[in-house]
Amino acid sequence: MNSKFHIRKSFFGALALLLVVLLLAACGSNAGSNNEGGATASPESSNTPAASEENTERVVTDGMGHEVTIPANPQKVLASYLEDHLVALNVKPVAQWSVPNGIQDYLQSGLEGVPKISYDLPVEEVASLEPDLIIIGSESQVQNDLYGQYSKIAPTYVLGDKVNSDWRAALTTIGDLLGKKEEAEQLLAQYDNKALELKEKLAEKAAGKKAAVLWLVQKQFYIVGENQSSGQVLYKDLGLTPPNVTAEIPAESNAVWNPVSLEKLAELDADYIFLVNSDTDVTETLDSAIWKGIPAVKGNRVYQIGPESSWLYSGFNAGQGIMDDVAKSILK
For 155-174, write each residue's pLDDT tens digit.
999 999 999 999 999 999 99
Q: Does residue 312 have a pLDDT over 70? A: yes
**Quick one: 260 and 320 in the same domain?**
yes
Q: How many domains does the chain fold into?
A: 2
Q: Which amino acid is at 309?
A: S
pLDDT at 28: 46
**Quick one: 173 and 213 in the same domain?**
no
pLDDT at 17: 54
Q: How confident is the model at residue 320 (pLDDT cuts 50, 70, 90)?
A: very high
For 37-60, write each residue's pLDDT tens digit.
333 333 333 343 434 445 689 999
**Quick one: 273 and 325 in the same domain?**
yes
pLDDT at 14: 47
The phi and psi torsions of 97 (rounded to 5 degrees) equal -55, 145
- Is residue 2 one of the residues assigned to a domain? no
**Quick one: 107 and 160 in the same domain?**
yes
**Quick one: 19 and 117 in the same domain?**
yes
**Quick one: 206 and 174 in the same domain?**
no
- As a whole number, the mean pLDDT across the chain is 86
Determine contact, residues 62/163, Cβ cutoff 8 Å.
no
**Quick one: 153 and 43 in the same domain?**
yes
pLDDT at 20: 55
What residues make up the domain containing 36? 7-179
Q: Is 175 exposed, middle or buried (CB count within 10 Å of its CB: 0-12, 13-18, 19+)?
A: buried
Determine contact, residues 329/303, Cβ cutoff 8 Å.
yes
- Is residue 29 one of the residues assigned to a domain? yes
Q: How confident is the model at residue 248 (pLDDT cuts 50, 70, 90)?
A: confident
- Is residue 188 one of the residues assigned to a domain? no
Q: Which amino acid is at 138?
A: S
**Quick one: 75 and 138 in the same domain?**
yes
pLDDT at 19: 55
Q: Which amino acid is at 144?
A: N
Q: Which amino acid is at 158?
A: V
Determine contact, residues 217/303, Cβ cutoff 8 Å.
no
For 222-238, write each residue's pLDDT tens digit.
999 888 899 999 999 99
**Quick one: 172 and 202 in the same domain?**
no
Q: Does residue 134 have a pLDDT over 80? A: yes
Write down which residue in 179, 207, 238 finishes a domain.
Answer: 179
- Is residue 1 one of the residues assigned to a domain? no
- Is residue 187 one of the residues assigned to a domain? no
Q: Is 22 exposed, middle or buried (CB count within 10 Å of its CB: 0-12, 13-18, 19+)?
A: middle
Q: Coil, strand, or helix at residue 134? A: strand
**Quick one: 208 and 147 in the same domain?**
no
CATH number of the domain bearing residue 259 = 3.40.50.1980
Write down which residue in 179, 210, 240 finishes a domain.
Answer: 179
- Is residue 189 one of the residues assigned to a domain? no
d(C-alpha 195, C-alpha 28), whole Å? 23
pLDDT at 24: 53
Write down which residue in 112, 145, 179 finishes a domain.
Answer: 179
d(C-alpha 168, C-alpha 164), whole Å? 9
d(C-alpha 144, C-alpha 148), whole Å? 9
**Quick one: 258 and 299 in the same domain?**
yes
| Angle subtended at Cα 67 by Cα 61 and Cα 71, rounded to the nearest 5 degrees | 90
**Quick one: 226 and 156 in the same domain?**
no
